[in-house]
């Protein structure tokens, strides 16, 4: 038989102590009953002048001993729109300057022509990919770093995509060529 560990002995002693507290404490049936108490209405709510649709409730709020709920109003209606800070925070550090310039004239992107090539197939030859492309009625066999008619350069062939660079604008375009299988 195993020897009891000290932590098990301590836990058993605490369990017995809790059970004894529950047994020997006084429990009255009246302890579970809580009665409501009436509070006088707060002066800010009861003495406020009723507005608009709250006029009917305003008469009930003026009677002592009744509870009234103030109407919900927008901050702009209260007149203290900028006076209230959330959680009354205080910033000690000066505000950081804006990282973006005020006005930047960005030139519009040049119109990139549509990809003139259609994918026909690919083959792995001597450890390098060669891709078969169609342009109109012509069929092209392209390899990496090959320039096509001085307008497109084959940047990379890594299935499932072929990366081409449109040389006049140096824009990168990709063509889906399927997986390496």
Q: Where are the domains of the chain?
A: 42-81, 118-176
pLDDT of residue 61: 47
Nearest to 176 by CA among 155, 161, 158, 165: 161
Tell me if 121 sits within 8 A of 178, measured CB to CB: no
- Residues of the chain whose pLDDT is less than 50? 45-49, 52-61, 81
Q: How far apart are CA 154 and CA 145, in angstroms?
A: 5
Does the predicted model carry a pTM greater than 0.85?
no
pLDDT of residue 118: 93
Q: pLDDT digit string (tens) for 109-128?
A: 667 778 899 999 999 988 89
pLDDT of residue 39: 66
Token pair for 172 = 């990168």
């Amino acid at each position: 038989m195993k020897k009891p560990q000290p932590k098990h002995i301590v836990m058993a002693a605490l369990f017995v102590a809790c059970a004894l507290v529950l047994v020997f404490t006084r429990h009255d049936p009246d302890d579970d009953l809580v009665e409501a108490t009436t509070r006088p209405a707060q002066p800010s709510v009861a003495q406020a002048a009723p507005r608009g649709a709250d006029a009917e409730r305003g008469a009930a709020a003026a009677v002592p001993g009744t509870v009234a709920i103030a109407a919900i109003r927008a901050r702009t209606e209260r007149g203290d729109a900028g006076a209230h800070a959330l959680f009354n925070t205080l910033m000690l550090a000066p505000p950081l300057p804006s990282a973006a310039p005020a006005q930047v004239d960005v030139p519009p992107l040049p119109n990139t022509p549509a990809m003139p090539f259609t994918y026909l197939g690919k083959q792995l030859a001597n450890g390098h990919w060669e891709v078969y492309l169609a342009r109109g009625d012509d069929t092209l066999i392209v390899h990496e770093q090959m320039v096509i008619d001085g307008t497109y350069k084959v940047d990379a062939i890594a299935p499932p995509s072929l990366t081409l660079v449109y040389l006049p604008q140096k824009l990168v375009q990709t063509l889906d060529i399927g997986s390496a299988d």
